[in-house]
Copies of this chain bind each other. A is one copy, B any other.
């Protein structure tokens, strides 16, 4: 199936969506313009957009009973759960000092899995869980020059 444009988004689509056939992308692939993928039902999809920029939830195809949409893959991640302002400050400083891309959500910090980060969690004594997440939003990250 050839896709030339996004026809809507799951959160605002006007037609009834019953079954969703997913195209799962790596987080970085959201920025691509040309992609060749299989849906989770094995259907071949060739995406060629005029402009780059896919979003999780974008609908590529719809007919009654079948909607093909984009979502990001589950990726291994840590959810860091500081219990105080002080601990939040400590662990966020250390992650910044390592230039580790972070998502701050509610009172938690989400980072991609990276075994070497566990030293920081242990040194700061901040609780964390290892889990899997779909990363839909850009990581907060600013480069810097030395």
Contact = CB atoms under 8 A, between A and B. Distances in A.
Interface of A: 82, 85-86, 88-90, 92-99, 102, 104, 106-107, 109, 140, 142, 144, 146
Copies in the complex: 2
Given A82-B85, A88-B85, A146-B146, A140 B93 contact: yes
Contacts of A92: 88-90, 92-93, 96
Most chain B beta-carbon neighbours within 10 Å: one of A97, A104, A146:
A97
A95 B98 contact: no
A97 B142 contact: yes
Contacts of A140: 93
A141 to B, nearest CB: 8
